Structure 1
Amino acid sequence: MPRAWWTAWVWAVIILSMEGASHQASSLSCDPTGVCDGHSRSLNSIPSGLTDGVKSLDLSNNEITYVSNRDLQRCVNLKTLRLGANEIHTVEEDSFFHLRNLEYLDLSYNRLSNLSSSWFRSLYALKFLNLLGNVYKTLGETSLFSHLPNLRTLKVGNSNSFTEIHEKDFTGLI
């Protein structure tokens, strides 16, 4: 490939990548109170650039597959996080670590096959947790909810593959 073509191709890739990123960022609308709506926007990842000004984040009904440790780390004032009805199959261990003010977490109707207690270990303020409609078969080897002293509403289970429930699964709940 001649050098001129190669240079043009590289610039085209860079420009298209930047347009894709800005399209995804513009798919999220936030009001002055910190309520951000990205519901049903065909997003395939959590938008970058989220800050401590975000109080409520609705990313439900998208095509998000992965939640990384970095996606929400600056959202320290987040109180509501809606990630239901996506394609999430992986949540990294510390993805929610910085969300100590989070009160409402919806992870329903995704593709989570394993649940980890580390996701919830710093969510002391959490009052509502929805894990319905995922593909996990059990709630895991250790209690998922032992670090959630304020949890008042818990939704677990699914219609097809939930096979076991044990008393230890609910250790730490009132």
Structure 2
Amino acid sequence: MPRALWPAWVWAIIILSMEGASDKASSLSCDPTGVCDGRSRSLNSIPSGLTAGVKSLDLSNNEITYVGNRDLQRCVNLKTLRLGANEIHTVEEDSFFHLRNLEYLDLSYNRLSNLSSSWFRSLYVLKFLNLLGNLYKTLGETSLFSHLPDLRTLKVGNSNSFTEIHEKDFTGLTFL
């Protein structure tokens, strides 16, 4: 390719990628109070461009497979996160780290085969957690919920493969 065409090629790629990003962001409808609805929009990933203005985010009933460390990092004022009924099989260790105001988290009916306590380590004000209907067989080797002192509602288990539960699984839960 001639050298003179490189700048045009680069701009074309940038414009196309920006259009893709705006398409994803436009798949959400957000009201002025920060409530964003992305339910049932055939999304396969968490939309980019989310900001601190988002207080409630509903991405349930989509085709999301992965929650990355950076997907929600700007959503520092998020109080409600609904990710139920997706295809999520991977949640990176720090995916929820910046969500220190999160009170409600729904990860139900996904494909999570392992649960990690690191997901919850900064969610001190979380009051509701739904993990129903995933593929995990146990709640893990360590106390999964030890960083959730305010948790009041916990939904765990599945109908097919949940095999064991131990007293240590609920260490740190004072309101249940």
Q: Deviations over 1:2-44 (max 9, x none)?
A: 9999999987766554433222110011110000011111111
Deviations 1:31-67 (A, max 9, x none): 1000001111111111111111100000000111110
Q: Which consecutive residues of structure 2, in runs of 5 or more, have no partner in the other structure? A: none
Aligned pairs, number: 174
Q: 1:167 to 1:73 in 2, by over 3 A?
A: same
Distance 2:154 2:170 in 1: 10
The separation in 2 between residues aligned to 1:9 and 1:85, in whole angstroms, is 39
Aligned partner of 1:34 in structure 2 is 34
Deviates more, 1:5-14 or 1:85-94: 5-14
Distance in 2, Cα, partners of 1:14 & 1:41: 25
Task: Measure how far apart 1:106 and its partner are.
Answer: 0.1
Secondary structure of the residue aligned to 2:81 is strand
Give the TM-score normalised by the residue count of structure 2: 0.90
Q: 1:49 to 1:3 in 2, by over 3 A?
A: same
Shift of 1:133: 0.4
Partner deviation per Cα, 1:96-124 (whole Å, 9 max, x = no partner): 01111100000000000000000001101
1:99-114 mapped onto 2 (5 Å cutoff): 99-114=99-114
Query: Structure 1 residues 76, 6: CA separation in 2 closer, same or farther (over 3 Å shift)?
Result: closer
Show CA shifts across 1:148-171 (max 9, x none). Answer: 010000000001111111111111
Q: Distance between the aligned counterparts of 1:79 and 1:105, measured in 2? A: 9
Q: Take 1:164 and 1:142, find their aligned partners in 2: how far apart are those partners? A: 14
- The farther-off stretch of 142-151 and 6-15 is 6-15
Normalised to the residue count of structure 1, the TM-score between the two structures is 0.91
Cα distance in 2 between the residues matched to 1:51 and 1:9 = 30
- The aligned counterpart of 2:122 is 122
CA distance in 2, matches of 1:47, 1:115: 23
Residue deviations 1:56-107 (CA, integer Å, cap 9, x gap): 0000001111101101111111000000000100000011011111000000
Work out the percentage of aligned pairs sharing the same amino acid: 93
Taking only aligned residues, the RMSD between alpha carbons, in angstroms, comes to 2.0
- 2:19 maps to 19
- For residues 74 and 30 of structure 1, the distance between their equivalents in structure 2, rounded to whole angstroms, comes to 16
Secondary structure of the corresponding residue to residue 14 of structure 1: helix
